[in-house]
Structure 1
């Protein structure tokens, strides 16, 4: 049986490996995962989307300000069409700028976490006999495994 578990890189992982070796399990394989080195792409395409969008807030603000501009355009010189279009353009620019500022703030916080020493995760693969599965599972859960899978 193989048991796959993920851990944060910490001393609890080292203690779990030591306990497994004390129980007589010698086939233990640990693989550290690397952290992302480069920033994700900003523009999505049809094949890949990461949920980050700059135009959603822009469209909302464009709708709001074009509605206000069109309604006020009935009393302002220029008419409702001109003020509606002007409101839409200004609202879209405000929304995109707001999204861009929020993205920069989140990106800087994420980069600070990486610089502070945030460590990646480790995949632990343990090969054991069928009768040792429950013992291995208990040890791994007790030492704060993030997730676990058992393959037969």
Structure 2
């Protein structure tokens, strides 16, 4: 029977390993996961999206400003088509810049990226007899395992 569990790298993991040794479970393999070394990509692709978009507000502002530019273009020199295009371009730039500023403010507040020095996760592989499986699971859950799976 194999039990696979994930833990945060902490003293509780060490205590769980000690308790497993006391219960005569000797086949334990722990693998620490590497932390992210560089910033995630900012622009999304068709296969990966994180829900952050910089052109949504730009398109809305482009629509609003082009509508205003077109209506004022009937009075201004140049005509409604020119002022509608100018309004769309200016609105898109303003809206995209606003999205960028909001993104920077939220990123600094939340800091969703992993900071340097944060503890990583450890994947623990425990091989035991079928009659020891429930005891091993209880020990791992009691020491705050993040997740647990049982295989044969």
Q: TM-score range with shorter-chain normalisation? A: 0.7 to 0.9
Aligned-partner Cα distance in 1 for 2:142–2:64: 53
Matches within 5 A, 1:1-40: 1-40=1-40
Distance 1:5 1:74, change over 3 A: farther
Deviation at 1:76, TM superposition (A): 4.9
In 2: Cα distance, 1:26 partner to 1:100 partner = 53
Q: Indicate conservation of the 8 Å contact 2:33/2:120, yes or no.
A: yes
Structure 1 unaligned spans of 5+: none
SS in 2 for 1:38: coil
- How many Å separate the matches in 2 of 1:70 and 1:131? 78
* TM-aligned CA deviation for residue 109 of structure 1: 5.7
Does the alignment pair 1:58 with 2:54?
no
Count of paired positions: 150
What CA distance in whole angstroms lies between the structure 2 residues aligned with 1:144 and 1:74?
69
Deviation readout 1:25-65 (Å, 9 max, x if unpaired) = 1111111111111122333444x423243323322322233
How far apart are residue 78 of structure 1 and its match? 4.2
Do the aligned partners of 2:32 and 2:120 also contact (CA within 8 Å) in 1? yes
Match of 2:139 in 1: 139
Instruction: Mark the runs of 5 or more structure 2 residues left unpaired by the alignment.
Output: none
- Give the CA deviation at 1:141: 1.4
Following TM superposition, by how much is the alpha carbon of 1:80 offset from its aligned partner in structure 2, in angstroms? 3.5
Match of 1:84 in 2: 84
What root-mean-square deviation, in Å, do the aligned CA atoms of Structure 1 and Structure 2 show?
2.6
